[in-house]
Amino acid sequence: MGAIHFYPNSKLQTMFLPRKATHLIRTAIVVAHIIPSPTISCSAANVSRTMVNMNKDCVGIDSHELEPIFEQKRSLRSKVRKALKNMDPNQRSQEDNAIQNSVVESSWFKASKNVCAYISSPALLEVDTSRIITEVLSSPAEERKKLYVPRVEDRNSNMKMLMISSVDDLIENSMNILEPALVDSNGNQREDVMQASDPLDLFILPGLAFDKSGSRLGRSGGYYDLFLKNYQELTKKKRWKQPLLVALSYSIQIIEEGAIPVTPFDIPVDALVSPAGFIPISVAALRRCE
């Protein structure tokens, strides 16, 4: 699948390398290639916080009905995390390469003008995005896409997407994950995508597991689902087109359809990019392939 790519910016080399629809409709199915492991705990307080934030438009949902779903998710997360930890480093590097090549060489990426993308964290075993970030930030100023990256605000699932123009705009948070500083080098507030004058074209998402119907298993915080819900409301208000939601996935993270339990809060993705290439799911994604 090609050699491992190293990028010229030292910060990217150092920080990127070796390092929640409708009502309840699915139940978890243990996938054969994921090895069972002990369930990773998820505090009731965290579940409660997420539901307080996301339940405003889901009146009538009994949290006791959702608890079995949350338990299934916890169990599945544990299995996927173990599989990711056991992933061969060479295979990981090859898959990182193939996934990023598919993204940066695609027509839908090249045509995008305003992009949200996550900054990959080796500690979280996420698909690497360093080449994608570099591709955007190294483009000539007159051709450069606007790039917004996540900054976690609190433990109540609140997250901002702030614009950066350089990797030097990124700082480590308390968990050693790179995030944008609130202000730039001149002391000016960074542009928040929720206040931007133009809509997003593309949103590149992380996750723990996915299926080919678009279900996404996150890491239990609810940050991306809450942000996407709020952004979808903004686009409706502004009468903007919805951005294409594309998740990056290692081969072992794509599991059997129906295996990911879902709640009314979960936002499905439009497409996946795996080592095998672009996997369109929604009508919007299929149109991008025409």
User: Does residue 261 lie in a domain region?
Assistant: yes
- Tell me the residue type at 205: L
**Count: domains in the chain:** 1
Residue, of 289 and 211, whose pLDDT is higher: 211
d(CA 48, CA 66): 11
Number of Cβ atoms within 10 Å of the Cβ of 146 = 19
User: Does residue 83 lie in a domain region?
Assistant: no
User: Does residue 40 lie in a domain region?
Assistant: no
User: Does residue 55 lie in a domain region?
Assistant: no
Residue 290 pLDDT level (bands cut at 50, 70, 90): low
**3-state SS assignment for residue 50:** helix
User: Does residue 28 lie in a domain region?
Assistant: no
User: Does residue 152 lie in a domain region?
Assistant: yes
Predicted confidence at residue 61, as pLDDT, reads 59
Residue 53 pLDDT > 80: no
Instruction: Identify the CA nearest to 203 among candidates 122, 289, 108, 277.
Output: 108
Residue, of 60 and 123, whose pLDDT is higher: 123
Q: Which whole number is the average pLDDT over 55-74?
A: 70
User: Does residue 107 lie in a domain region?
Assistant: yes
User: Does residue 155 lie in a domain region?
Assistant: yes
Give the CATH number, domain containing residue 268. Answer: 3.40.50.10420
Dihedral, CA atoms, 281, 285, 288, 290, nearest 10 degrees?
40
d(CA 273, CA 106): 11
Predicted confidence at residue 65, as pLDDT, reads 78
Any idea which residue has 């608890």 for tokens?
67
What's the sign of the alpha-carbon dihedral 199, 202, 206, 210?
positive
DSSP 208: S
Predicted confidence at residue 190, as pLDDT, reads 95
Tell me the pLDDT tens digit for each residue of 103-161. Answer: 999 999 999 999 999 999 999 999 999 999 999 999 998 889 999 999 998 877 889 99
- The answer to whether the predicted template modeling score (pTM) of the entire model surpasses 0.85 is no
Q: Which domain holds residue 174?
A: 88-287
d(CA 161, CA 56): 22
Least confident of 34-38, 122-126, 234-238, 278-282: 34-38
**Mean pLDDT, the chain, as a whole number?**
81
Residue 250 pLDDT > 90: yes
Tell me the pLDDT tens digit for each residue of 212-241. Answer: 899 999 998 889 999 999 999 999 999 999
